[in-house]
Structure 1
Amino acid sequence: MVSAVSQLPLPPDLPAGALRVVALGGLGEIGRNMTVFEYDGRLLIIDCGVLFPEDQHHGVDLILPDFSWLAGRLDAVDAIVLTHGHEDHIGAVPYLLRQRPGIPVVGSRLTLALVAAKLREHRLVAVTRQVREGDRVVLGSFDCEFFAVNHSIPDGLAVGVRTGAGLVLHTGDFKMDQLPLDRRITDLRGFARVGEEGVDLLLIDSTNAENPGFTLSERELTPAIDRVFASAGRRIVVASFASHIHRIQQIIDAAARHNRVVALVGRSMVRNMEIARRLGYLTVPDGMLIEAGQAKALAAEQVVLICTGSQGEPMSALSRMANRDHAISIGEGDTVLLASSLIPGNENAVNRVINGLTRLGAQVVHRGNALVHVSGHASAGELLYCYNVLQPRHVMPVHGEARHLNANARLAQAVGVAPERVLVAEDGVVVDLYDGRAAITGRVPCGYVYVDGSQIGEMESSLKDRRILAEEGFISVVAVVEAGTGKPVGQPEVHARGSIAGVGPFDDVSGLIEEALIQAASDGVTDLHELEQKIRRTVGRWVDRTHRRRPMIVPVVVTV
């Protein structure tokens, strides 16, 4: 197994006839999936998704892939190919198209519909090309073949990319549910065919590589969901991803069996389900869907509300309900069903929501206490099956944290892929396929790009300040000194906010600041910036010594 290290140099020039593969996101994380293929001076992008912020990303809305490696080369992009319609695979498309609006976007019917709705919000219109399983199309320098894969959203596709350097298969997100709700199974016959042809490099989903056996079928959830509905005495609130059409269908079917109507809550939920219904991916009985406002007029035992917020997102409908900051009030006897898996990193946020709902009197049903969700990703048994069917010459695990990538790499070796042909990479690491061999050849700059309101860019210094404000607090000092001499006029004013606010009174540190200013004046220091720095150091030493804190300190010196 070849693992990438952070100290890799920039890659050499790409030899003629070689294929370069660079992941700009999705390696070492769950989200931000984006892989760039380079051949004969042309580029192909597979997926362009976002990563959702965690607790330490104070105020950040989204995290994008780093497009800087593509700067000045966007005219060479032949297409953006999308494997499916989840946000971690399509969410960053508008931000890339802002930089070059004319890049063709290729995907399945549902995926393109979800992208089109997203682009409308950004006031963009894309050049699109719809494909389906079985299609084989030439996109510039890349000959692409599409295979049906089963996932937690309809219309998922794996992509085979043929160039003069060889055949690369990118699975996208997939599992091997043999009884999917839409009866669209992963195309193992197609996989076997390209396996016979010879897969030179396999990029394969790693999310569930640590999980033994096979992922449960979606159909196995139906009895468990029915039990939740049968035992619920009052209103039922279901939280799910806004793109999880299969799960929403199961909830609507259960509501019909138990004589309940359904209201969709949240803009993204309403938008996506309207798209799915219009395209025929969601079946809703006549009269079943009502407006959220109408639900208030009905008896609680007649209603099911479907909303976003299964990951504890702060501004989601469910989080606001848990915080009593939503028009819908959760009360004693309500049942809340979290119908999704837990994305790593969201544990604290989800637990806060569960605790908040429980305190309001709701019974919260989630994957930890009932079989109400199955993953959309292949477990170890399915991955082994695919390796044996495909028999790839080289393997590059994708879509997962470091532990998932390494677990997937071990599976590849277990079926006989030579360790030196299993490439465990990180974001920005370059893999070149040349003369029948794939190898790590370098690394390109690849960081995090944050979206904060209308601001887009690197914000590490700003995030550091926000973390300090959130965790350590804030101290401001206003000192008045004589112009020309720098001598203090009276005692400085000290104010604190946040976690440091309760450590006062500040008489001790006020005296220390005054002494420091007197000493500075006697030393002939009159520059206001130097005086502010002395105040910052004085307050910093005091608060560290007395309270073991490192707050943000903002001194202001005024002359009279």
Structure 2
Amino acid sequence: MSHPHPELTEPGKLPKGGLRVTPLGGLGEVGRNMTVFEYDGRLLIVDCGVLFPEEQQPGVDLILPDFGPIRGRLADVEALVLTHGHEDHIGATPYLLRERQDIPLVGSELTLALLGSKLREHRLRETVQHKVREGDTITFGPFELEFVAVNHSIPDALAVAIRTGAGLVLHTGDFKMDQLPLDGRITDLRAFARLGEEGVDLFLTDSTNAEVPGFTTAEKKIAPAIEQVFRESDQRIIVACFASHVHRVQQVLDSAVAHGRKVAYVGRSMVRNMQIASDLGYLHVPEDVIVDAKELAELPPERVVMVSTGSQGEPMSALSRIANGTHNFVHIEPGDTVLLASSLIPGNENSVYRVINGLARLGANVVHKGNALVHVSGHASAGELLYCYNIVRPRNVMPVHGEVRHLLANGDLARQTGVESVVYAEDGVVVDLIDGKAEIAGKVECGYVFVDGTTVGDVTESELKDRRILSEEGFVSIIVVVDSVNGVVSSGPEIHARGHVWPENAFDPIKQPIVKAVNRAISEGATDTYQLQQAIRRTFGRWVSSTHRRRPMIIPVVIEA
């Protein structure tokens, strides 16, 4: 059992009557979800999300799916289906609409509302939207879509069944099988079974928790831990969670009312999303419980609750600024309680622990998943996935949404239930469903697209490598003046360093070797400044590596005088 190898060739033309599935993100990582379906020359896209950068990607704000493989075929896109409102499923939509604004957007009421505020920020107002709910059927070109209710860590999530002449595909989106959800909306296993009876030719399933045995803990199970925090805290309570976790905020509101506390939202995305959820009826806000965050100073600390963004330690989030003591009006007092009501996204551990330590240093009591049951996952564990495979009985399975280890674990579960055809794909790997059989057909070029401020796609891996070197090793500039008449070094080198502490006179031993290297290069026929710069770079690089065990960025400057 192995995942596809990079030597796969570019796929050939799709045979008539076949369905082509091309993931452009979300397979091999948790985030950036985007899958393209092709049938009869037309395209359907499911999800268009972002991935958040890690520490080794300095200066990057967001990572997008690579639209390159479909950029020349955007006119063929029938619709973009959004399974739910999380950033890793809708966040890249504005960037796709910049390239073709009239792509029809299909999603549930809350999903489209959360996306709408994002589109307005990008000044994309005239979009085509189709609001759907569970049980609805809608057709775009050769694609007939049926929507199925699924339970997730955000309300109004949907799975989508896609019918074409090539067969029936069922895409779960992100889901779990909480049997006692806070909103009473369970994953519709009856619909899954009905589709299974019809015959699911390809089943795309959420892999995030495939390595976790058993069943995901129910949301209601965390209520006692939240209640305990409210019962034992006699000062302010600050709750940090995802800005889209309506269910968690609902639990906080309910506990706040029970203990006579007022609640304020802190963080722009939290304020915006909870207002949308409240307006649409997904969040039930008791009367007179919400106050403006700036009014909190007028209330006694035992009557205050703040619900903040920043549960992942994001540097610019409200909670990070609170932990650093740089927030405009929220300052930790000894005895305050901070509740981190979320899981750790892989790669964010150091950032989160940095925030926890900062809060603890200021005197806060920090309650988090490591010391209390204050968060449950939004994804199906192995027991739930096995249950679904036995209900649906698909002909072919393609694990989606997860790192490689998650995809492999999910595929293994499918095989245990008797599924013989499991296709392991990663971003860019093309899968064709032909005559009821799904097989890998090749691979398209598909990489990361970095957003840096207002710049999209111009940052390369080479530039990120330079940024990492600058952040870890610093840089050294070396200025040499060459007498263009006599062909020898007439002044320098002047050596300046930044980003690393060097001993006084540390560069004295290398100055003469640099002069000799430049003079030698000139005598051997070097005629342009680039060749002389390379001689400086080689000489200094070897010396600094062997003498100081450093590899700074070296910027040689040759001036002809």
TM-score by length of 2: 0.97
Query: Could you tell me which of 349, 358, 363 is aligned with 1:361?
Result: 363
Q: Distance in 1 between matches of 2:521 and 2:390?
A: 75
Tell me, yes or no, if the aligned pair for 1:486 and 1:517 is still in contact at 8 Å.
Answer: no
Tell me, yes or no, if the aligned pair for 2:359 and 2:366 is still in contact at 8 Å.
Answer: yes
1:463 aligns to 2:468 (yes or no): no
- Secondary structure of 1:296's counterpart equals helix
Q: Distance in 2 between matches of 1:513 and 1:317?
A: 50
1:516 is displaced (CA, Å) by 2.1
1:57 aligns to 2:72 (yes or no): no
Q: Distance in 1 between matches of 2:332 and 2:480?
A: 50
For 1:316-352, what per-residue CA distance to the aligned partner results, in whole angstroms no more than 9, with x for missing partners? 1111222222122223212111111111111121111
Amino acid at match of 1:81: V
Matches for 1:383-402 after TM superposition, within 5 Å: 383-402=385-404
Q: Distance in 2 between matches of 1:221 and 1:95?
A: 37
1:354 is displaced (CA, Å) by 1.3
For 1:428-461, what per-residue CA distance to the aligned partner results, in whole angstroms no more than 9, with x for missing partners? 1011111111111111111000000111115212
Q: Which residue of 2 aligns with 1:494?
A: 495
Q: Which residue of 2 aligns with 1:289?
A: 290
Q: Distance in 1 between matches of 2:225 and 2:197?
A: 41
Q: Distance in 2 between matches of 1:156 and 1:258?
A: 31
For 1:512-556, what per-residue CA distance to the aligned partner results, in whole angstroms no more than 9, with x for missing partners? 222323333444545222221111111101110111221100011
Q: Distance in 2 between matches of 1:293 and 1:512?
A: 63
Q: Distance in 1 between matches of 2:511 and 2:241?
A: 53
For 1:47-97, what per-residue CA distance to the aligned partner results, in whole angstroms no more than 9, with x for missing partners? 000000000110000000000000110010000000000000000000000
Q: Distance in 1 between matches of 2:505 and 2:253?
A: 56
Query: Could you tell me which of 408, 414, 426 is aligned with 2:416?
Result: 414
- Secondary structure of 2:489's counterpart equals coil
Tell me, yes or no, if the aligned pair for 1:158 and 1:170 is still in contact at 8 Å.
Answer: yes
Q: Distance in 2 between matches of 1:142 and 1:228?
A: 50
Q: Distance in 1 between matches of 2:299 and 2:392?
A: 55
Tell me, yes or no, if the aligned pair for 2:172 and 2:205 is still in contact at 8 Å.
Answer: yes
Q: Which residue of 1 aligns with 2:119?
A: 119
Q: Distance in 1 between matches of 2:382 and 2:500?
A: 45
1:352 aligns to 2:354 (yes or no): yes
1:304 is displaced (CA, Å) by 1.1
From the superposition, tell whether residues 127 and 487 of structure 1 become closer, same or farther in structure 2 (CA, over 3 Å).
same
Q: Distance in 1 between matches of 2:530 and 2:462?
A: 21
Q: Distance in 2 between matches of 1:261 and 1:185?
A: 31
Tell me, yes or no, if the aligned pair for 2:178 and 2:219 is still in contact at 8 Å.
Answer: yes
Q: Distance in 2 between matches of 1:74 and 1:460?
A: 26
- Secondary structure of 1:518's counterpart equals helix
Amino acid at match of 2:516: E
Amino acid at match of 1:187: D
From the superposition, tell whether residues 502 and 280 of structure 1 become closer, same or farther in structure 2 (CA, over 3 Å).
farther
1:4 is displaced (CA, Å) by 1.6
- Secondary structure of 1:358's counterpart equals helix
1:298 is displaced (CA, Å) by 1.9
1:214 is displaced (CA, Å) by 0.5
Matches for 1:505-520 after TM superposition, within 5 Å: 505-520=506-521
Q: How many residues align?
A: 558
From the superposition, tell whether residues 529 and 494 of structure 1 become closer, same or farther in structure 2 (CA, over 3 Å).
same
Q: Distance in 2 between matches of 1:78 and 1:290?
A: 44
- 28-37 or 315-324, which moves further after superposition? 315-324
- Secondary structure of 2:298's counterpart equals coil
Tell me, yes or no, if the aligned pair for 2:69 and 2:446 is still in contact at 8 Å.
Answer: yes
Q: Distance in 1 between matches of 2:133 and 2:279?
A: 18
Q: Which residue of 2 aligns with 1:236?
A: 237
Q: Distance in 2 between matches of 1:559 and 1:113?
A: 62
Matches for 1:317-336 after TM superposition, within 5 Å: 317-327=318-328, 328-336=330-338
For 1:101-129, what per-residue CA distance to the aligned partner results, in whole angstroms no more than 9, with x for missing partners? 00000000000001111000000022000
- Secondary structure of 2:239's counterpart equals strand
Tell me, yes or no, if the aligned pair for 1:430 and 1:441 is still in contact at 8 Å.
Answer: yes
1:376 aligns to 2:363 (yes or no): no
Q: Which residue of 2 aligns with 1:47?
A: 47
For 1:203-239, what per-residue CA distance to the aligned partner results, in whole angstroms no more than 9, with x for missing partners? 0000001111111111111111011112223211111
CA RMSD of aligned residues (A): 1.3
Q: Distance in 2 between matches of 1:553 and 1:110?
A: 52
Q: Which residue of 2 aligns with 1:169?
A: 170
Tell me, yes or no, if the aligned pair for 1:149 and 1:175 is still in contact at 8 Å.
Answer: yes
- 355-364 or 388-397, which moves further after superposition? 355-364
- 4-13 or 183-192, which moves further after superposition? 4-13
Q: Distance in 1 between matches of 2:502 and 2:236?
A: 42
- Secondary structure of 2:352's counterpart equals helix
Q: Distance in 1 between matches of 2:554 and 2:3?
A: 42
Q: Which residue of 2 aligns with 1:484?
A: 485
Q: Distance in 1 between matches of 2:524 and 2:129?
A: 70
For 1:395-436, what per-residue CA distance to the aligned partner results, in whole angstroms no more than 9, with x for missing partners? 000000111111111110111111xx0111110101111111
Q: Which residue of 2 aligns with 1:186?
A: 187
Structure 2 unaligned regions, length at least 5:
none
1:353 is displaced (CA, Å) by 1.4
Q: Which residue of 1 aligns with 2:448?
A: 448
Tell me, yes or no, if the aligned pair for 1:25 and 1:34 is still in contact at 8 Å.
Answer: yes
Tell me, yes or no, if the aligned pair for 2:213 and 2:382 is still in contact at 8 Å.
Answer: yes
- 39-48 or 496-505, which moves further after superposition? 496-505
Amino acid at match of 1:258: H
For 1:112-154, what per-residue CA distance to the aligned partner results, in whole angstroms no more than 9, with x for missing partners? 0011110000000220000000001111110000000000000
Tell me, yes or no, if the aligned pair for 2:3 and 2:404 is still in contact at 8 Å.
Answer: no
Q: Which residue of 2 aligns with 1:96?
A: 96
Q: Distance in 2 between matches of 1:66 and 1:325?
A: 36
Tell me, yes or no, if the aligned pair for 2:278 and 2:285 is still in contact at 8 Å.
Answer: yes
From the superposition, tell whether residues 331 and 381 of structure 1 become closer, same or farther in structure 2 (CA, over 3 Å).
same
1:484 is displaced (CA, Å) by 2.7
Tell me, yes or no, if the aligned pair for 2:481 and 2:558 is still in contact at 8 Å.
Answer: yes
Matches for 1:67-106 after TM superposition, within 5 Å: 67-106=67-106
Amino acid at match of 1:367: K
From the superposition, tell whether residues 135 and 559 of structure 1 become closer, same or farther in structure 2 (CA, over 3 Å).
same
Q: How high is the sequence identity, in percent, across the aligned residues?
A: 66
TM-score by length of 1: 0.97
For 1:174-228, what per-residue CA distance to the aligned partner results, in whole angstroms no more than 9, with x for missing partners? 0000110100000000001001111000000000011111111111111110111
Q: Distance in 2 between matches of 1:484 and 1:349?
A: 57
Q: Distance in 2 between matches of 1:348 and 1:3?
A: 29
- 519-528 or 170-179, which moves further after superposition? 519-528
Tell me, yes or no, if the aligned pair for 1:395 and 1:412 is still in contact at 8 Å.
Answer: yes
Q: Distance in 2 between matches of 1:38 and 1:422?
A: 20
- 228-237 or 164-173, which moves further after superposition? 228-237
Amino acid at match of 1:73: R
- 452-461 or 10-19, which moves further after superposition? 452-461
Tell me, yes or no, if the aligned pair for 2:159 and 2:171 is still in contact at 8 Å.
Answer: yes
Q: Distance in 2 between matches of 1:252 and 1:75?
A: 46
Structure 1 unaligned regions, length at least 5:
none
Tell me, yes or no, if the aligned pair for 2:48 and 2:82 is still in contact at 8 Å.
Answer: yes
Q: Distance in 2 between matches of 1:262 and 1:69?
A: 47
- 217-226 or 293-302, which moves further after superposition? 293-302
From the superposition, tell whether residues 180 and 332 of structure 1 become closer, same or farther in structure 2 (CA, over 3 Å).
same
Q: Distance in 1 between matches of 2:527 and 2:480?
A: 13
- 531-540 or 34-43, which moves further after superposition? 531-540
Amino acid at match of 2:283: L
Q: Distance in 2 between matches of 1:548 and 1:467?
A: 17
- Secondary structure of 1:432's counterpart equals strand
Amino acid at match of 2:339: L
